[in-house]
């Protein structure tokens, strides 16, 4: 068991991911209630909103109201997502409540980048160069590299380890050129293609070439392998994971509606805690937050654990 | 990757498990249609029916009609479940279509045995002694040991590796006493308590003490760790798994209705095939059988992959 980390650190993405994809309008008060419930679970980081164009993503038209409305809790870091200077400005208006740092985002699949952003590889790097410059001009550090489609792509098929490493090479070169110190490399299975053996290969290749930055795994459970891929990451010593309470969020790239998106936070916490890996999270409180999320969206969330429940009550009864 | 087996062998339990737990009556023709669809996928073994008391399990009142009605396919082994001499007789009436061999079933948790069968450990061993004798008297070999609640129990809490080994010791002693050669030890996570590290410990302990019999893992996905536990089994070289198409079956012991039961066959097949472990199963045909199962039961099945779909179409499109 010696390869496993002693503890992990989870970025809870449920509020941001979940309220973006839901068809109906979610009341601002409900979004705030979920963030506050998550704050009480012990989770280290929460992404609370997306500062995106409300015409394109009406579900986040109330981003300012949500960020102004939640109750920050000591020890929890709150973040948001933005894509352009306007989004960065809106985020910076809340820099007393939000941790604001920039990311160089690249895609291991050029086809995904073209489909998603209408940019080929050079165009994406140009866009990222402007992105970095805008951040630095506002005094915002850029310390993270994020690789989308790092395992496979609905538009170009399987992504090789070499392609993923090449994407990181691009991003690290841009970081060096702009004087940014990268402390984290996020590897994202954006469309749910990863398998555990591939996670081991990709994490191993990235770590051996860039041993210093911490690796974050952003895994999707589109085809049911998300937690097995997290296990593979843990075996490689990865200790940073993104996850979404209840599996909130769904998968915008899946062929069928209703497919799970991000791995469910409670399943990741259960996996770790049962194996003696500390998460700092109260699983029962997290399951309550997950049930709250399900009531808010008004339909069944993908988390198996939300149905199966935790073991604490059984253990108490048995003791 | 060298610990992984080159191929695995799956026992498909969906028809038997699924049609037992569904509340509404399932037409016999639908049961047969699913078995025939599964036969065409390449799966090695299918449990097609339960010969149980129709007063207790009305869902299997048509066991004879189902077993007489499906179309056996060369290369596929068909089995059934029974618990008593009457069930064995009913099974033996179809010995031209069904593989009939007996099992010594024990529980690693005495509390589970008491709750489920109203028998303590000595009473369960006495019952198994009679069970074996009845089989041998009818010329039916008993070649399998099956350990229920091998990882944890809703009534007694966590089950230790030592408890599980002790249950196997009991069963192997009975096998020796009755002259039965055991070729397979099935280790069942009946209530969804297992974690991957525990799977490694238990499989390791059982194999080091009984190196000859093949180990089968019967895993439940009640709390979302089923496929991660299967991965742990694969890493230990386990090559026999039970699974249920679509996750058909649910979990009779879970606290909440709707919790997954057995791991979904398509997720296990996807896990293996993506890592280069052969299953002999056509995943696209299996996904069609899974969709058929969902139409038959008339409600959403737990399989994530049934929502997310396979990668074959994406790969073809990308090529």
**Alpha-carbon gap, residue A77 to A173, rounded angstroms:** 29
Same domain, B159 and B57: no
Say yes or no: B22 and B78 in one domain: yes
Q: Are both A255 and A239 inside the same structural domain? A: no
The alpha carbon of A159 is separated from its chain's Cα centroid by a whole number of angstroms, namely: 20
Question: Which residue of A244, A252, A300, A307 is the best one to mutate when testing the B interface, meaning the one whose CB has the most B CBs within 10 A?
Answer: A307
Q: What is the pLDDT of residue A297?
A: 92
> What is the pLDDT, as a whole number, of residue A19?
83
Say if A96 falls within a structural domain: no
Q: How confident is the model at residue A56 (pLDDT cuts 50, 70, 90)?
A: confident
pLDDT of residue B1: 43
State the SS3 of chain A. CCCCCCECEEEECHHHHHHHHCCCCCCHHHHHHHHHHHHCCCCCEEEEEEECCCCCCHHHCCHHHHHHHCCCCCCCEEEEEECCHHHHHHHHCCCCCCCCCEEEEEECCHHHHHHHHCCCHHHHHHHHHHHHHHHHHCCCCEEEEEEECCCEECCCEECCHHHHHHHHHHHHHHHHHHCCCCCEEEEECCCCCCCHHHHHHHHHHHHHHCCCCEEEEECECCCCCHHHHHHHHHHCCCCEEEEEHHHCCCCCCCCCCCCCCECEHHHHHHHHHHCCCECCCCHHHHHHHHHHHHHHHCCCCCCHHHHHCCCHHHHHHHC
Whether the CB-CB separation of B274 and A195 falls below 8 Å is answered with yes
Domain edge (last residue) among A243, A258, A279: A243
pLDDT at A1: 43
Q: Please identify, among A243, A260, A292, the residue that sits at the C-terminal boundary of a domain.
A: A243
Give one word for B210, left, alpha or beta, with left for phi > 0 and alpha for psi -120 to 50: beta
Q: What is the mean pLDDT of residues A79-83?
A: 96
**Domain shared by B95 and B106, yes or no:** no
Mean pLDDT of chain B: 94
Say yes or no: A235 and A123 in one domain: yes
Domain assignment present for A203? yes
Of A209, A243, A277, the residue at which a domain comes to its end is: A243
Interface touch A251/B308, C-beta < 8 Å: yes
ipTM: 0.95
Q: What is the pLDDT of residue A175?
A: 98
Q: Do A308 and B259 touch (CB under 8 A)?
A: yes
Of A87-91, B18-22, B186-190, least confident by mean pLDDT is B18-22
* Option in A227, A308, A313 nearest B222 (CB): A308
Residue A319 pLDDT more than 90?
A: no
In the three-class reduction of DSSP (H, G, I as helix; E, B as strand; rest coil), residue B213 is classed as: coil
What is d(CA A266, CA A284) in angstroms, rounded to the nearest whole number?
9
A151 to chain B: closest CA residue: B274
pLDDT tens by residue, B140-160? 999 999 999 999 999 999 999
Cβ-based burial of A239 (10 A; exposed 0-12, middle 13-18, buried ≥19): buried
For strands B45-51 and B77-82, give the pairing: parallel
**Best mutation site among A3, A189, A195, A224 for testing chain B: the one with the most B CBs within 10 Å?**
A224
Q: How many domains does chain A have?
A: 2
Among A4, A196, A223, whose Cβ lies nearest the Cβ of B231? Answer: A196
CB B37 within 8 A of CB B29: no
pLDDT band at A2 (very low <50, low <70, confident <90, very high): low
Nearest chain A CA: its distance from B280 CA (Å): 19
CB contacts of A158 in chain B (<8 Å) are: 315
- Chain A positions touching B217 (Cβ under 8 A) are none
In this structure, what DSSP letter does residue B139 have? Answer: T
The Cα A91–Cα A101 span in angstroms is 10
Q: Please answer whether residues B59 and B20 qualify as being in contact, where contact means their C-beta atoms are separated by less than 8 angstroms.
A: yes
With contact defined as beta carbons under 8 Å apart, do A183 and A143 qualify? yes
Q: Are residues B273 and B226 in the same domain?
A: no
Among candidate residues A153, A180, A251, A272, the one labeled active-site is: A251
Q: Quick check: is B229 catalytic?
A: no
In whole angstroms, give the CA distance from residue B191 to residue B149.
7
List for chain B the helix, strand, coil content (%; round to 5).
45, 15, 40
Q: How many CA atoms lie within 13 A of A28 on its CB side?
A: 12
- C-beta of residue A121 within 8 angstroms of C-beta of residue A170: yes
B310 contacts in chain A (CB < 8 Å): 223
CB burial of residue B61 (10 Å; 0-12, 13-18, 19+): middle
Q: Average of pLDDT values for A197-203?
A: 98
Q: Tell me whether residue A80 is in a domain.
A: yes
Q: pLDDT band for A48, please (50, 70, 90 cuts).
A: very high
Q: Does residue A240 contact residue A214 with C-beta atoms inside 8 Å?
A: yes
Read off the CATH number of the domain in which B64 is found.
3.20.20.70
Is residue A190 pLDDT above 60, yes or no?
yes
Instruction: Give the pairing of strands A142-148 and A102-107.
Output: parallel
Please report the pLDDT score of residue B39 as a whole number. 98
What pLDDT is recorded for position B57?
87
Mean of per-residue pLDDT scores for chain A = 94
Query: Which of A23-27, B11-15, B21-25, B299-303 is the least confident region?
Result: B21-25
Whether the pLDDT of residue A110 is over 60: the answer is yes
Residue B58, pLDDT > 70, answer yes
Confidence of residue A253 (pLDDT cuts 50, 70, 90): low
So what's the pLDDT on residue A25? 86
DSSP at B98: S
Of residues B162 and A254, more confidently modeled: B162
A90 versus B315: the higher-pLDDT residue is A90
Per-residue pLDDT tens over the stretch A209-233 = 999 999 999 999 999 999 999 999 9
CA distance A249 to chain B (A): 14
Q: Are A5 and A237 in contact (CB under 8 A)?
A: yes
Chain B residues touching A276 at Cβ < 8 A:
197
For B302, which residue in chain A has the nearest alpha carbon? A304
Sheet holding A9-12, edge to edge: A77-82, A45-51, A9-12, A240-243, A214-218, A184-188, A142-148, A102-107
* Judgement on whether residues B207 and B270 belong to the same structural domain of the protein: no
Q: Can you give the pLDDT at residue A79? A: 98
Asked whether the beta carbons of residue B225 and residue A270 sit closer than 8 angstroms, the reply is: yes
Six token digits for residue A205 = 């290749």
The residue-averaged pLDDT of B202-215 equals: 98
| Domain match, B37 and B114 both | no
Q: What is the pLDDT of residue B268?
A: 98
Residue of A nearest to B200 (CA): A1
Do A182 and A303 belong together in one domain? no
Residues A29 and A85 in one domain: yes
Give percent above pLDDT 70 in chain A: 97
User: B198 to chain A: nearest residue by CA?
Assistant: A275
Q: Which of A35-39, A168-172, A255-259, B256-260 has the lowest mean pLDDT?
A: A255-259
Residue B314 is given by DSSP the state: H
- Contact residues on chain A for B318, CB-CB shorter than 8 A: 111, 153-157
CB contacts < 8 A (A, B): 183
Whether A236 and A256 share a structural domain: no
Same domain, B127 and B54: no
Query: Which percentage of chain B shows pLDDT scores above 90?
Result: 86
Whether the pLDDT of residue B123 is over 50: the answer is yes
pLDDT for the residue numbered A135: 98
Task: Please tell me what DSSP assigns to residue B146.
Answer: E
| Range of the structural domain that residue B7 is part of | 1-100+244-319
């Amino acid at each position: 068991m010696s390869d496993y980390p002693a503890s992990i650190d989870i970025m809870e993405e449920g509020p941001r991911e979940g309220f973006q994809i839901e068809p109906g309008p979610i009341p601002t008060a409900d979004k705030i209630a979920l963030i506050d419930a998550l704050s009480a679970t012990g989770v280290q980081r929460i992404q609370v909103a997306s500062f995106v164009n409300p015409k394109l993503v009406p579900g986040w038209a109330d981003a300012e109201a949500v960020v102004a409305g939640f109750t920050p809790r000591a020890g929890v870091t709150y973040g948001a997502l933005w894509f352009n200077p306007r989004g960065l400005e809106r985020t910076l208006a809340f820099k007393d409540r939000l941790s604001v740092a920039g990311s160089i985002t690249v895609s291991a699949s050029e086809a995904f980048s073209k489909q998603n952003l209408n940019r080929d590889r050079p165009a994406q790097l140009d866009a990222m160069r402007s992105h970095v410059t805008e951040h630095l001009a506002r005094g915002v550090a850029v310390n993270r590299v994020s690789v989308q489609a790092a395992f496979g792509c609905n538009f170009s098929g399987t992504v090789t380890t070499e392609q993923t490493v090449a994407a990181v090479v691009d991003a690290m070169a841009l970081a060096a050129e702009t004087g940014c110190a990268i402390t984290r490399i996020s590897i994202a299975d954006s469309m749910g293609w990863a398998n555990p053996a591939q996670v081991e290969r990709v994490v191993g290749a990235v770590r051996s070439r860039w041993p210093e930055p911490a690796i974050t795994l952003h895994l999707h459970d589109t085809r049911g392998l998300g937690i097995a891929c997290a296990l593979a990451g843990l075996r490689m010593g990865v200790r940073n994971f993104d996850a979404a309470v209840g599996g909130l969020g769904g998968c915008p790239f899946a062929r069928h509606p209703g497919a799970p998106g991000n791995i469910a936070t409670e399943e990741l916490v259960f996996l770790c805690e049962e194996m003696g890996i500390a998460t700092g999270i109260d699983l029962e409180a997290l399951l309550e937050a997950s049930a709250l999320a399900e009531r808010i969206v008004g339909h069944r969330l993908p988390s198996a654990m939300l149905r199966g429940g935790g073991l604490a009550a059984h253990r108490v009864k048995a003791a």
